Amino acid sequence: MAKILIVDDEEPVRAMLRDMLEVHEHEVEEAVDGRDAIECYRRGHFDMVITDLVMPDMNGLDLIMALREEKKDVKILAISGGGGIVGRFDYLPIAKLIGAESILKKPFDLQQFSSSVAKILDA
């Protein structure tokens, strides 16, 4: 069982990810954007962070960079529906370049998600 922080500005997405993770008995906390995620991360130990990239206030790319500055070995899964922070651009490859262990494009299925989480946690 791992402690995982989900970061997404859409409540239905957070709920879906929570349900998928709790099936595997992971402990889950949620944050609504990058700033909220940093506060949560500083308050507790997390084995992994799952973050959307397109969010208001502080986007996922900025969050990944901030988390890497605080703790080099944080495990990160970046997810995105393909929308852009400014315009329509796929930021998932950039997330991988700046430190996400794995990336998933929304929508993804339970098998893809579970496999990615397990692979990252086992690394």
CATH code of 3-122, in short, is 3.40.50.2300
- Mean of the pLDDT values across residues 28-45? 96
* pLDDT at residue 87, rounded to an integer: 53
Give ∠ CA 85-67-10 in degrees, rounded to 5: 45
Share of the chain above pLDDT 90, in %: 81
Cβ-contact 44, 3 below 8 angstroms: yes
**Could you tell me the pLDDT band of residue 82, with boundaries at 50, 70 and 90?**
low
pTM of the predicted protein model: 0.93
